[in-house]
């Protein structure tokens, strides 16, 4: 069983990769590492996929076999698990989720005692144990499992606490798309309790419809809904709630770059821990220029909210995120949290008494084209002809960037092209796509 950690934990099809057997071994291996570190309790949460209950049972059996006690949180957003791992004083927290993927996939994400993704060193220790035969501890030392029924209410109260007490959402009509995922219950309650009129969609999970034609990977749904309901904001979350896309009152889409700019613009303190912002190699060149004009430093991390978080820790900064909508506000949360990011953007704009368009008029994005190509072997990224072609294109660009990389969560090659003119970016992206497809 060749299980390896990727960009965001271990992820793949339930029928072939993240199977019950795999989860049994992951739970046992992770439990053994916990015991080696002197820890004996773990919390486990999940999203709404049909496979969640099956894999939860296998995962907890593995932990129990290693002598680790388990607290079962039930369906809850990924950032909720990170928060509860920290506040319940647990050393490890586990999420069963494949984030924005469809229901055929599932995955395992692991947080440490600070509510952050575990280090590569700990991942390697777990991987070592995965290659060994599963051998339970003696019966008198096996772990126990408990249901923790307060996970939702605790997370709701935490999210509400991130909004300044003098701020009310009572004047707002908000459309909220919960992607039929882990946020389907908690997020609507958060915005309603803050006073907003909430129109919720994507809140009827059946185990199969997570991310299906809804959520942050289908932003057109929330755009149409905002116009239809004449809403002030649209909020579109993904299946596990760790990323968000916003829509303004005119139906304009605000991605992670726009969100980062709004949060940076609205922060009056731009020194010390607030002196810099972390993006990724996917962040628009216009964002980098705009952030620097505001007086911040801007640094790019590798793609993945885990790497953004690591760079923030390295620099000692508080704000970072990805274009896809993973936003990390380190002053409030330890990992990407779509609901908290949306709360902070809206409350910041209420304080400024500005619409998103008024703030975003201060910076201009360069045209950027993104494509994802499904492949059987992601090693095609190392093809000599492809590398040579990319160098040739980059040399033709006086302004702009090209990034071609393997997805860390799906069997895909991702293409990003930036150029001063959209038609130029589109042409180069098509040419790269054509070459890659010819080799698959």
Do both 356 and 372 map to the same domain? no
Q: 137 and 28 in one domain?
A: yes
Tell me the H-state helices in 118-255: 120-130, 151-161, 186-193, 219-229
Whether residue 107 is found in the same domain as residue 167: no
pTM of this prediction?
A: 0.92
Residue 123 shares a structural domain with residue 167? no
Residue pLDDT tens, the chain, 440 long: 678 998 889 999 999 999 999 999 999 999 999 999 999 999 999 999 999 999 999 999 999 999 999 999 999 999 999 999 999 998 999 999 999 999 999 999 999 999 999 999 999 999 999 988 899 999 999 999 999 999 999 999 999 999 999 999 999 999 999 999 999 999 999 999 999 999 999 999 999 999 999 999 999 999 999 999 999 999 999 999 999 999 999 999 999 999 999 999 999 999 999 999 999 999 999 999 999 999 999 999 999 899 999 999 999 999 999 999 999 999 999 999 999 999 999 999 999 999 999 999 989 999 999 999 999 888 888 889 999 999 998 888 878 899 999 887 788 999 999 999 999 999 999 999 999 999 87
Please give the tally of structural domains in the chain. 3
CA distances (Å), 204 to each of 48, 56, 136, 182, 218, in order?
10, 21, 39, 11, 16
Please identify which of the residues 99, 151, 283, 309 carries the catalytic annotation: 99
Question: Are 311 and 410 contained in the same domain?
Answer: no
Q: Out of 102, 125, 149, pick the residue that ends a domain.
A: 149
Domain region containing 123: 10-149
Choosing from 318, 338, 360, the residue where a domain stops is 360
H-helix segments, 77-235: 78-87, 120-130, 151-161, 186-193, 219-229
Separation between Cα atoms, residue 179 and residue 136, nearest integer Å: 38
Query: Are 73 and 170 part of one and the same domain?
Result: no
Q: Look at residues 307, 328, 360 and tell me which one is the last residue of a structural domain.
A: 360
Q: What Cα–Cα distance (Å) separates residue 335 from each residue in 85, 246, 378?
A: 12, 19, 28
Instruction: Look up 407 and say whether it is catalytic.
Output: no
Q: Is residue 3 part of a domain?
A: no
Nearest residue to 38 (alpha-carbon basis) of 110, 82, 111, 92: 92
Domain-located, residue 162: yes
CATH number at 102 reads: 3.40.120.10
Query: Does 209 reside within a domain?
Result: yes
Q: What's the rounded Cα separation, in Å, for the pair 191 and 163? A: 11
CATH code of residue 385: 3.30.310.50
> Six-digit token pair at 267?
């922060």
């Amino acid at each position: 069983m060749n299980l390896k950690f990727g960009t965001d934990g271990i992820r793949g099809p339930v029928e072939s990769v993240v199977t019950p057997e795999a989860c049994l071994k992951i739970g046992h291996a992770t439990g053994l590492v916990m015991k080696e570190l002197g820890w004996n309790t773990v919390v486990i949460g999940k999203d709404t996929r049909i496979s969640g209950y099956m894999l939860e049972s296998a995962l907890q059996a593995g932990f129990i076999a290693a002598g680790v006690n388990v607290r079962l949180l039930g369906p809850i957003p990924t950032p909720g698990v990170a928060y509860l791992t920290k506040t319940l004083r647990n050393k490890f927290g586990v999420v069963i989720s494949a984030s924005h993927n469809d229901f055929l996939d599932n995955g395992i994400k692991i947080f440490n005692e600070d509510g952050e993704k575990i280090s590569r060193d700990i991942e390697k220790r777990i991987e070592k144990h995965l290659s060994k035969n599963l051998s339970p501890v003696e019966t008198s030392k096996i772990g126990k499992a408990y249901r923790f029924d307060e996970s939702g209410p605790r997370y709701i109260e935490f999210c509400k606490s991130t909004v300044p007490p003098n701020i009310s959402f009572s004047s707002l009509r908000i459309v909220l798309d919960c992607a039929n995922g882990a946020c389907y219950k908690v997020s609507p309650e958060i915005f309603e309790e803050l006073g907003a009129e909430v129109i919720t969609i994507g809140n009827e999970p059946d185990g199969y419809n997570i991310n299906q034609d809804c959520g942050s990977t289908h932003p057109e749904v929330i755009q149409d809904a905002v116009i239809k309901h004449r809403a002030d904001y649209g909020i579109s979350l993904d299946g596990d709630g760790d990323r968000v896309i916003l829509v303004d009152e005119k139906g304009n889409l605000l991605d992670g770059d726009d969100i980062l700019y709004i949060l940076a613009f609205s922060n009056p303190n731009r020194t010390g821990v607030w002196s810099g912002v972390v993006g990724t190699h996917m962040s628009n060149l216009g964002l980098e220029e705009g952030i620097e004009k505001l007086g911040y430093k801007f640094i790019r991390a590798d793609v993945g909210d885990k790497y953004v978080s690591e760079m923030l820790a390295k620099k000692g900064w508080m704000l970072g995120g990805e274009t896809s909508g993973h936003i990390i506000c380190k002053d409030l949360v330890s990992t990407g949290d779509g609901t908290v990011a949306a709360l902070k953007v809206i409350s910041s704009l209420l304080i400024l008494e500005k619409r998103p368009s008024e703030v975003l008029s201060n910076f201009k994005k360069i045209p950027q084209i993104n494509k994802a190509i499904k492949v059987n072997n992601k090693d095609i990224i190392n093809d000599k002809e492809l590398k040579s072609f990319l160098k040739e294109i980059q040399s033709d660009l006086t302004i702009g960037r090209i990034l071609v990389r393997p997805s860390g969560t799906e069997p895909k090659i991702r293409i990003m092209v930036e150029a001063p003119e959209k038609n130029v970016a589109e042409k180069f992206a098509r040419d790269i796509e054509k070459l890659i497809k010819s080799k698959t």
